[in-house]
Structures are given as C-alpha cells and as structure tokens.
Chain A
C-alpha cells in the first residue's frame, strides 16, 4: 500500500557539521497530496532523496531513525514494481535523446515492452499535452516541455507513491493548473503524493496538508494560513500593457544615447531573430526590455557586446559604431550579466572568481584580489569569500556572477534576468544597489519577466514581440 511513516529520522551529509534533517516525525496515508515547503536549502530535497533511496545509496551520510512504507515494516522496498515515481528538481537533465526513449526507459526497467509500453506512453503524453512530441529530441524542447516529459517519466510506472520536487517551476500557469488537476485525480484514486515547492501558493487549493521544513526540522502548518489567491492564469504581457503601465514616466536626465541600434536585423532562421529594431537608451536611464520567451531579447542585447554582429543595420555603444570593435574591447564599456551563472564560474573560490574579471583585463593578481575583497564586502559576501561557488545556493551564485561583472566598473550595465534565481530579500538589496549605481552615472538595460520589478525600478519599458518592438513607452 502507499503510506509513509517517518520516525525520529535524522540525516547528516558526509563531513558535514550539522544534520541536514533533524529528528523528523511524519506520517501520511494514501490518497493525499501533501505540500512540503521551505526555503532553498532547508532540506526539502534531502528529505525526498532519503525517501527515494538516493540517500544513502548514491550520496553517503549518516542515517538515524526509520522510514517505513505501507504494510512493510522493512524500509527496503520491493523490487518488482516501482514503489515510487520521482521527479528531481532539475528537469533539464535527462537520460536519453528522444522523448519516446526517455518515457519508455522506466517501463523497460520493469520488464514492460511491446504494445503495452506504447499504450502507456500514449496515455501519459496525452494527459500531459505532449502528444506529437514522441519523436522529438529533448534538447530541442523548451524548459517547460522538458519538465512535462520529466513529470511523465515519474507518472508512467503508475507507482503508488509520487515524490515531486518543484514540478511546475518552469511551467506557465495554465499548464501548472492542469498538472495539479491530474495529480488530484491520481490522489483520489489512492496514490500518495508529496510535492516540494518553495512557493506553495499555486498548489495550495489542491493539497490536503502542508508541512514546512526549516533548517532541517519539520513543522506542520495549517493550509488556511497561506494567502490563497485565485490562480492567475492570465498574467501576461498583454494584461500588463492593457491595464495601463503604472510606471511613472520620468524625463531622462540626459538626452544622450549611450546604447543605440538603428534598423537592426538579425535572423537565425524564418521564425526567430529580430527585425528592424530602432532603440535608444540614454545615459542614466533604466530601461526594461520585456517580452515573451523567444521574442529576441537576448539576441538584441548580444549585439551590444559584439557577440552577434548585425546582418543589417547599425549598433552604437557610447556613440561609436561597434562594427570593427572586438568583444573584449566592448567589454570595457559594457558589462553584461547572463542568465545562468553556472555557464561561467570556473574558479574554486568566490574571491578568485570575482577577481578573474579584472585579471582577464591584465590587472596584477594581488591588486585584483584586493579589489575583489572590497566589493565582496560591499555586497555582504565577506563570509563566503573562500567558499567554493558551487557550494552556495543558486541565488548566491547569481550574486557572485553579478559582482564579477560589477567589479570592472562598466559605464553601461546589461542584465539578463538578474533576479530570476534570487530570493526576494536579495532582490531588494541588489536593486537598491543598482539604483545607486545609476545615480552615480551608470546606465542600465534589464531584461526581466518580473513585472513588479519593472514597476518599481525602471524608467522606461521596451516591449519585444516576435522580433519586433511593439511598444516603446516613455
């Protein structure tokens, strides 16, 4: 059967000073959806890993206490039919090339093949809205589509217990709604479903119980204490624009364009790229560039640093045509922060990583390290200066990447979704710092999906849709 009982359970990672999970007591019968909430790093994923057996089989550490399943008084699981369907937090990691293979994998491991296999795959894909995706390569899918495939892999074995870690992180609100609807049906049929979410609001209407993990300890909470807002299925650019941008238009301090494109065109192929863009960004202005995924925002900004060269039109930085200027030279004026800090981190300590941006420009090592130390203190990174960046949370890694851009004191700053991975307190700190930077003469171009951010901090908005600017409100 599908129930879980956890008694006095603790777990400490190898070589860790304090337990990651501390004396957890918890039980859940079948037929329920249980939300597990908590900040990043609180232990939610660790708990799921202990349940699914990843700990201790793949990750060593010290276990104490008991985890019991169903009727078995033994914590070793029956091998024949999988007891768990598991969704890991990072759904951009997958095993096989094509959607069909990826979904078939778990079934093949249970010895299921042939027409039965195909039938089950069909069922899962139609439930998740993935019909027609079977021959596609996972690499070519969007993040949300990949997440659905991962969910499919978890559901396909029809296991009695489901352990899902952030199942809707990359999904749009409508897809998220459908997923929870499906989960509810599965729970009503008798499955036990545990869902980890650092922001459980969306799931709250569907769940039976909520527990919170804080610093490795489990606290039961009342679902009603969450401010359950109606699911905002329509939070899109359109609604933002239609409700009248509530931005206070501000006259620029200078009418001096530091970034400018004229008739810029760059097409990857028929469907994607940008066309005939005319945009000016003035000194000490904070411009938000918004638009749906794939509209060409990253394509546009890459021109300012010379990573892409115009197929037609011109690009100007600080009034100078960028045509023959190499990227490293443009990097002196323009600092650009990309979306994923893990694409660039390569040093073993935070300090060295931050300092590298200066060392790459020829600054002697000692001086670079000193400057790095100073700016780290400005950003309250002092205690983490000797830690390995990959031992920090995603949120902090993004901060490290940001600081390594800021250390070079660029006059112009381009930020691609700088706050996407950050916790809300950090976001406020960073934005305040950016305002200060602007007041001291800097210019900022920020790409974001966060409308509250746009509202509060930016002067102007440019909207990019399908490669064209549609609205350039001043």
Chain B
C-alpha cells in the first residue's frame, strides 16, 4: 500500500469516524457508530495504521470539541488493532469475520474503556447505559465490574453493526477501487 494513499486513508478514516458519530446522533440512534472509519482503515491499511486512525480520531475530536475524548482514543486504537489483525488473518469479506470482530470487541473495548470511564466519570455516561450500571451497582457489584458489564451490550450492537457495514462496503467496492480492498500488502 502506497504511503501517500496511507496518509489520505488515515485522514479519511478519521473523518468517517467523526461523521458517523454525527449522523448517528442526528438520527437519534442509540449506538455510537463512530468507529467505522477506524475499521475501514484497519482493513485496508493493517492493524497499526488502523490503530493510529482510531487514536488520532479521538485526539482530533478532543482538540476540536471536548478534550475528555482524548483518553478514549486508546479504545479506538484497540479497535483498529483487533480488526486489523482479523482482517490480516482472514480477510474481511466473508460473513464470519465481522461476527468475530464484533464479539471480541464487545469485550475488549469495554476492558480498555472502563478504567478510563471510572477514573474520569465514576463510570457514569449520562446515557442509557447508566440505568444498567445503577442496577448492577445496587445489586452489590463493585464499581469496575458494574461499569464493565453495563457497557457490553451497547458495544456488542455497535461493533457488530459497524463491522458488517465495513464488510459490505469492502465487498461492494467499484472495480476501480478494488485495489484498496486487497489490504495492506497488495501492490507492494
């Protein structure tokens, strides 16, 4: 994969992340949908550049709006790593790989994100997840465990949908862009 295309793809991935999140909010969809760009970058450029895309997305968002976003860049970066490795091993055009990605990330993303959320926010998000969180806490669970478990369902749906969307896009690229879908080692 040519370096220049790599640069523009990372930038594009960042923008897709941001716009995805924006459209989801505008349409009042209850999941994030803000890691589509990371996944696209990871599939086409490999795990490390995918992770970079994720990290920079949160950095950019944090600089442009609310800096609390920045530490969560670690979560986004992890998404890039996971999806990138899966894509490398199995390609991202079959129906199973996105499923794997979604399931793995449903656990891995909260693992990384929960410590940050707990330290900064006491585990509270101001969103629907808090209801689940409160219930778990009330039943006597520890803060970290409750926050972690509360985050799994939303992440599962979000990551599964995003992964399948990315798969659909890669599968249905026009002929002139097929080169991108072959992944980071094509044409080198």
Contacts and interface: CB of A to CB of B under 8 A. Distances in A.
| Interaction A to B | yes
Contact of A388 (B2, B5, B172, B187): B172
Contacts of A60: 179, 186-187
B4 A390 contact: no
Contacts of A224: none
Interface of A: 14-15, 57-60, 348, 388-391
B175 A58 contact: no
A451 B178 CA distance: 40
Contact of A15 (B4, B5, B172, B175): B175
9 contacts: A14-B178, A14-B179, A15-B175, A60-B186, A348-B172, A388-B172, A390-B176, A391-B174, A391-B176
Nearest to A348: B172
Contact of B2 (A58, A348, A389): A58
Contacts of B173: 388
Given A15-B175, A60-B187, A391-B176, 12 more contacts: A14-B178, A15-B178, A57-B2, A59-B179, A60-B186, A348-B172, A388-B172, A389-B174, A390-B174, A390-B176, A391-B174, A391-B175
Interface of B: 2, 4-5, 172-179, 186-187
Contacts of A14: 178-179
B5 A58 contact: yes
Contacts of B174: 388-391
B166 to A, nearest CB: 14
A58 B4 contact: yes
Nearest to B4: A58
A370 B173 CA distance: 24
Nearest to A95: B8
Nearest to A392: B174
Contacts of A391: 174-176
A472 to B, nearest CB: 39
Contacts of B172: 348, 388
Contacts of A57: 2
A348 B177 CA distance: 13
Contacts of B186: 60
A348 B5 CA distance: 23
A388 B179 contact: no
A87 B4 CA distance: 18
B175 A388 contact: yes
Nearest to B172: A348
Closest 4 CB pairs of A and B: A348-B172, A390-B174, A388-B174, A60-B187
A328 to B, nearest CB: 15
A393 to B, nearest CB: 11
A58 B175 CA distance: 15
A59 B174 CA distance: 14
Contacts of A348: 172
B172 to A, nearest CB: 4
B178 to A, nearest CB: 7
A388 B171 CA distance: 12
Contacts of B175: 15, 388, 391
A59 B177 CA distance: 9
Contacts of B176: 390-391
Contacts of B177: 390
A58 B187 CA distance: 9
A14 B182 CA distance: 12
Contacts of A389: 174
Contacts of B2: 57-58
Nearest to B11: A95
A55 B179 CA distance: 13
A189 B176 CA distance: 39
Nearest to B178: A15
Contacts of B187: 60
Nearest to B188: A60
A308 B4 CA distance: 41
A58 B186 CA distance: 11
Nearest to B2: A58
A246 B175 CA distance: 46
Q: Which of B5, B173, B187 has the largest count of A CB atoms less than 10 A from its CB?
A: B187
A171 to B, nearest CB: 27
Nearest to B169: A348
A327 to B, nearest CB: 15
Nearest to B176: A391
Contacts of B179: 14, 59-60
A246 to B, nearest CB: 43
Contacts of A388: 172-175
Contacts of A59: 179
A105 to B, nearest CB: 13
B177 to A, nearest CB: 8
A15 B174 CA distance: 13
A219 B2 CA distance: 34
A390 B176 CA distance: 8
Contacts of A15: 175, 178
B100 to A, nearest CB: 24
